[in-house]
Structure formats: C-alpha cells, structure tokens
Amino acid sequence: MPELRKNEQQSRYEIVLGDEVVGFAEYRQEGENVVMPHTVVNPDHEGEGLGSQLARFALDDIRAAGKQVVPSCAFIRGYIEKHAEYADLVAQG
C-alpha cells in the first residue's frame, strides 16, 4: 500500500512504496494560490493509478488549507477535468 505525504522541505507531494519515492507533484505557494507545475511517476510504476492517488491527495490537502490551485501541470489539469468535484479549486483569473 503506497504512503502519501507532503514534503514541505522540497515543496512537493510524494507517493512512496517501501522506502522509495515513486512519484511526486511539485507545488509552490503564491498567496492564496498553490501552483502545481510538475508531476512525475516512476516509469516502472506507470499505469498503477499512483498518479491519480497523488493528485487526489494533493488536491484534498489544498482544499483543506482553504487555498486555490493553479494546475500548470498537464497531468493535474487533466485530473481536474476528469473529476469535476475539484473544479471549484481552480484559481480564476
């Protein structure tokens, strides 16, 4: 079972299997917005749904913090488009 965590020192959300970080989604705070520029999943683990788990974890954390997201990463943007329950998190403007 993968572990999901927020690594504030490296400004990224991580998904971990055993002791290996197999994916991460970078973020940076810009006022009330959280910009998400880049998401990576280890090619050995593509197709396992890890990226979706990571996106959901990150977006839920951003919602809990009362922030809005700027999904400049194509993966995060695509995830939000497929999961309308996160559409309200997208920063307008």
Q: Which two tokens stand for residue 74?
A: 């194509």
Both tokens assigned to 35: 């910009």
pLDDT tens-digit map of 22-77 = 999 999 999 999 999 999 999 999 999 999 999 999 999 999 999 999 999 999 99
Both tokens of residue 85? Answer: 């329950």
Domains of the chain: 1-11+27-40+49-93 (3.40.630)
* Residues 35, 17: Cα–Cα separation, whole Å: 25
Res 66: pLDDT: 97
